Chain A
Amino acid sequence: MPLESPPVAVPAPELPTSSPPGLIALFVAFAKISVAGFGGVLVWARRGIVDQHRWMTADEFNETYALCHFLPGPNIVNLSMVFGSRFRGIPGGIAAFTGLLGPPVIIMTILAALYTHFGEIDALRRILAGVSCAAVGLLLSAVFRMMMPLVKRRDWVGLLLLAAVFVAIGLLRLPLAAVLLVAIPISIAITFAMRRGAA
């Protein structure tokens, strides 16, 4: 969806960031990012925050995203909170958070109601079955993309941990919390030991 962006007169194009956004600007920006974000919001977040509004440099954005990625929970939701609060404190975080979640939650609730009423219609069932097959493929491709760096640098320990989590969750269907309470300490201990060994 092409965001309507009037050509902003930027006197010095090299200036990385513009003036800090207000609460309404934060809400509107994240609402736009969210509603534009079919199949993943990250691309649109980067485009809106870095390219369009110049609220952050690309590096600052990457750093903020990296922080939100290693914390649990939906990354982009974490990002909205961290980003908004960086400019306008807690109200700013809440403005960005509600902008990001409000509009799509309304859309999703309407879709959920429609699905409850019409989900049994045969044509819709067939369409959804087809879409979910394709969507699973997208997820698998994302998994392969993320695995490539581990494969390329022959990170056997990482791949072994990956496989162990896959077996525990995917095949044995063990509860997530139990698996992670074992896997995270092991992984941290190994990573720490290997970094000390390398240093």
Chain B
Amino acid sequence: MNSEPNPILTLAWTFGLMSLFAVGGANAAIPEMHRVAVEVQHWLTDKQFADVFAISQMSPGPNVLIVTLIGYSVAGVAGALVATLAMCVPTAVLAYCVSRFLTRSSKARWPSTLQAALVPLSIGLMAASGLILALTSDRTWVAALVTAASAVLAFATRLNPLWLLLAGGILGFAGLIG
């Protein structure tokens, strides 16, 4: 970025555009958020990105609100609001229009084909999210072990995820993760 555009406008169009490509929800857009926020715009460091991901996961509300944190770090309260609305309004409007259209037309065959086509792509995006976040968070062997243990426990048991986050926080506080 040679010129310095208004950061609020940059937030608005970055997240507004990103939301339309967030196939599979907010977690599928994490690689793109990381690419833009850390690598392209330098809004956050790698460590800060891992931190805001952690905060968004342990706070109430939809996971998409990681963009509120990113927006705040760029331009304060206004940035937080603009980033959130940019990420949420365009697709909500799209969803409204599509649902109106589908309830009117009875021959809703194509959505199932489209859905089947999009599922593998959205899982691939989320797998990429997992990789990128693991690379930013797991800087030690112990950290990687904690991630692996949390993945296995969450996969194999019906444990409330909050307990796993709490356990991670305690291990971190004890200085085991570094």
Q: Which A residues fall within an 8 A CB radius of B?
A: 34-41, 64, 66-82, 85-86, 90, 93, 97, 100-101, 103-105, 107-109, 111-113, 115-116, 119, 123, 125-147, 150, 155, 158-159, 161-166, 169-171, 173, 175-177, 180, 183-184, 187-188, 190-192, 195
Contacts and interface: CB of A to CB of B under 8 A. Distances in A.
A96 B21 CA distance: 23
Contact of A104 (B47, B59, B132, B136): B59
Contacts of B92: 73, 77-78, 80-81, 93, 97
B147 interface: yes
A136 B147 contact: yes
B9 interface: no
Instruction: Describe A's contact surface by its main secondary structure.
Output: helix
Given A67-B111, A188-B117, 17 more contacts: A34-B60, A70-B115, A81-B92, A104-B59, A111-B55, A126-B172, A133-B177, A135-B58, A137-B146, A138-B57, A158-B119, A161-B120, A161-B121, A162-B127, A183-B121, A187-B120, A191-B117
B56 A108 contact: yes
Nearest to B89: A97
Instruction: Describe B's contact surface by its main secondary structure.
Output: helix
Chain B interface residue count: which class?
35 or more
Contacts of A129: 50-51, 54, 137, 143, 172, 177-178
Contacts of A140: 130, 134, 147, 151
Given A68-B95, A77-B91, A112-B69, A133 B143 contact: yes
Instruction: Report, nearest first, the 8 A-B pairs whose CB atoms are least far apart.
Output: A130-B172, A104-B61, A73-B91, A137-B150, A134-B168, A165-B124, A170-B128, A112-B72
A188 B170 CA distance: 45
B69 A105 contact: no
Contacts of A184: 23, 117-118, 121
Contacts of B155: 141, 144-145
Given A72-B22, A129-B137, A166-B131, A35 B61 contact: yes
Contact of A108 (B80, B126, B178): B80
